[in-house]
Structure 1
Amino acid sequence: MPDEELTVDQLAARVGMTVRNVRAYAGRGLIPPPRLVGRTGYYGHDHVARLTLVRELLDKGYTLAAVERMLGELPDGALALGVFETLVNPWTPSEPEELDELQLSERAGVPHDPAVIARLVELGIAERLDDGRLRIANTDLLRTGLDVIRLGVPLDAIFEMLPKLFAQADAVAKIYVELFRSTVWRDFTNAGMPPEGWPEIQRTLEGIIPLAGQALVAAFRDSMAREIEVAAYEELGLDPKTLPSTG
C-alpha cells in the first residue's frame, strides 16, 4: 500500500537489510528523511522503493559510490524511480537457484568435473558463493543447456558455442535498445522529460523485451528451418543452390 508507513525496523525487514545499513544509507542521502512523530521516524513507499533499488544495484556488483552517483543524478519523483527500476531489472524470467557442484552434475547426467564447473563460472553461467555452492542467475539458460547435453551434444561443443550465442544475443539486444533510444527516448528527452511522460516510457520499456523476444523467435524459426534444409542438402551431397527460394 502506498500510504503504509513503517518504522526503521519494519523498513529494514521489508527491504532485507539491517537497521544499521538503513541508517547508513539514509546518512549518505540515498533515501529522503522520514516523517517524524516525536522521536520516531516513519518511512513510506518511496523509501522502500529506493532501498530495494540500492540493494539490487549492490547485488549486481555496483559499488556504493556508484549507487550514490546514479541515484543522485536520477530525476526526482516516484515515476522516474520506477523507470530506473525497470532499467535495472528489465526482465526476470526465472528465479536464481543455488545448488552444489554434485547436484549440478547429477542434473546434467555427467560425472562431476571441477574443470567443467570452472568453465561454467568463467562463462558467467554460474557464480561461486562464499560457501562453495553455485548460484545460477539464468536458470532457463541452464535448463536449455542441460537438455542439449541429454540429446548427446558434447560439453566441449556447447562451451565452444556459448560465446558465439552470447555475442549474437548482444547484437540483437543492441538493435532493440538503439531503436528505443533513437525514437521514444529521444522524443522524450527533446521534450524536456515532462513528468506526465514517465509512465509511457515505463510501459514501453516493460513491453519492448517480450515483444523483441517474440519477434526474434519468429525470425529464428524461419532461419533455423532454412539452415537445417541447407545442411541436409550438403550432407547428402546435393547442391543447396537447387533449394527453392524463400524470398
Structure 2
Amino acid sequence: MSAVPAKNSRHRPARPSADGSEMTVEELSARTGVSVRNIRAYQTAGLMPPPRLQGRLGLYDPEHQGKLELIRDLRQQGFRLDAIKGMLEKTPEGAWSEYSLISELFSTTFFTVEAPKRKAINEMAANWDTKATSEQKERLARNGLYRPVGEDEVEMLSPALERIGIQLAELNVPLDTVLDLQDELIKHTRAIAKAYVEQLFLELLKAITGSQPASGDKAASASKIAPDPNVVGAMKGLFERLRPLAIGSVSAAFPVVLQQEFDRAIQKQQKKRG
C-alpha cells in the first residue's frame, strides 16, 4: 500500500517534542504494548505519521503514542484496519485529546447488552455431536464475534448468538449451515454498523469536537492530554441517545424485510412449479 500523501497534515513527520519526550520505536512499543512490527505496519497502511528522523534513527513523540494507543484499543475491540483508517482520516486537526475518548465510547461494553463469555471451541461444537474442524475454528476466529484467548478457547462477544445456534442444532440444522448464516449476518450487520459509525456517529462527534479550540501544547504530557469535561459530557450524552436508535432501527426493519424476502421466495417457487 502506498504512503499517505504529505498534503494530509495528520501524516506529516512529527516535530521534535518540546519537553524532549521523544522515543525510539522500541520504547514506543514498550510503552503501548504494540509490537514494533505492527507499529511499522500501521505506518505503511497510513494509520500513523512517520517518525522524525535523526540521521537513521526514527523518533516518536506523545502524539504518536496517543494515536497508537487509540489504534490499539480499537483493534482490541474488533475494528478492522480500514474502518480505523476512516475514523482517523475524519478526525479534525487539534482534536486528538477529545478523540482519544473514542476508545472509551466504542468500548466492548458501550453498545453490547451482554457480558462476554469464555468457552472451549470443541464444547461449542458438541451441540452438533461432533468436534470442530480446523476450518471451522478458523471461521470462528476471523468473524469478529469470537476473540481467541487460548489454543482451543474463545471469548464469545455475543452469548445470545450462541444460544440461537444451540436451538438451530436442536432443529438438526448442520453446523456448517449455521456458520454460513452467521458469516452472512456478520457481513451485512457490519456494513450497517460501519455506515452508522461513519455517517452518523463520527459526523456528530466531529461537530462537537470541531468547535473546540485546538490544544497548543501537544507535548504537554507523555501520555494522553486531559480532555475538556464539557466535551466529554456532550459526547457521552449524544451517544447514549443514539445507541438505542441505531440498534432499534435494525430490529424494526429486519422483520419487515424478512417477510418480504420470504414472500418473494415462495412466489419464485410457485412460478417454477407452474
TM range (shorter): 0.5 to 0.7
- Cα distance in 1 between the residues matched to 2:172 and 2:202: 42
Q: Which amino acid aligns with 1:135?
A: E
Q: 1:151 to 1:221 in 2, by over 3 A?
A: same
- Cα distance in 1 between the residues matched to 2:75 and 2:211: 34
Show the counterpart of 1:157.
177
Q: Which amino acid aligns with 2:131?
A: H
Higher helix residue share:
1
Higher-Rg member (1/2): 1
- List alignment gaps of at least 5 residues for structure 2: 1-29, 33-68, 79-87, 89-94, 215-227
Residues 140-176 of structure 1 show CA distances to partners (whole Å, capped at 9, x for unaligned) of 2222233333333322223333333222112211221
- Cα distance in 2 between the residues matched to 1:205 and 1:142: 28
TM-score, reference length from structure 2: 0.51
Show the counterpart of 1:232.
266
Q: 1:140 to 1:231 in 2, by over 3 A?
A: same
Q: How far did 1:84 drift? A: 4.3
- Cα distance in 1 between the residues matched to 2:151 and 2:167: 28
Q: Which amino acid aligns with 1:104?
A: M
Question: Which of 89, 112, 134 is the matching residue for 2:131?
Answer: 112
Alignment of 1:138 onto 2:158: yes
Alignment of 1:171 onto 2:191: yes
Q: 1:174 to 1:237 in 2, by over 3 A?
A: same
- Cα distance in 1 between the residues matched to 2:162 and 2:213: 40
Q: 1:134 to 1:197 in 2, by over 3 A?
A: closer
Q: Which amino acid aligns with 2:202?
A: R
- List alignment gaps of at least 5 residues for structure 1: 1-26, 30-52, 63-69, 240-247
Show the counterpart of 1:181.
202
Secondary structure of the structure 1 residue equivalent to 2:113:
coil
Q: How far did 1:190 drift? A: 3.2
Q: 1:104 to 1:190 in 2, by over 3 A?
A: closer
Residues 117-151 of structure 1 show CA distances to partners (whole Å, capped at 9, x for unaligned) of 34323434434433643332322222223333333
Show the counterpart of 1:203.
237
Q: How far did 1:215 drift? A: 0.8
- Where do residues 19-38 of structure 1 align in structure 2 (5 Å cutoff)? none
Q: Is the 8 A contact 2:116 2:158 kept in 1?
A: yes
Secondary structure of the structure 2 residue equivalent to 1:175:
helix
Alignment of 1:223 onto 2:257: yes
Q: Which has the higher contact order (CA 8 A, sep 6+)?
A: 2
Q: Which amino acid aligns with 1:75?
A: S
Q: Is the 8 A contact 2:128 2:174 kept in 1?
A: no
Residues 177-213 of structure 1 show CA distances to partners (whole Å, capped at 9, x for unaligned) of 212223x223213321694343121122233232211
- Cα distance in 2 between the residues matched to 1:59 and 1:185: 20
Q: How far did 1:235 drift? A: 1.9
Count matched residues. 177
Q: Is the 8 A contact 2:77 2:107 kept in 1?
A: no
Show the counterpart of 1:9.
none
Q: Which amino acid aligns with 2:249?
A: A
Secondary structure of the structure 2 residue equivalent to 1:186:
helix
- Cα distance in 2 between the residues matched to 1:129 and 1:198: 32
Q: Is the 8 A contact 2:147 2:155 kept in 1?
A: yes
Percent sequence identity over aligned pairs: 19
Q: How far did 1:216 drift? A: 0.9
- Cα distance in 2 between the residues matched to 1:128 and 1:185: 32
Alignment of 1:75 onto 2:94: no
Q: How far did 1:238 drift? A: 7.4
Secondary structure of the structure 1 residue equivalent to 2:271:
coil
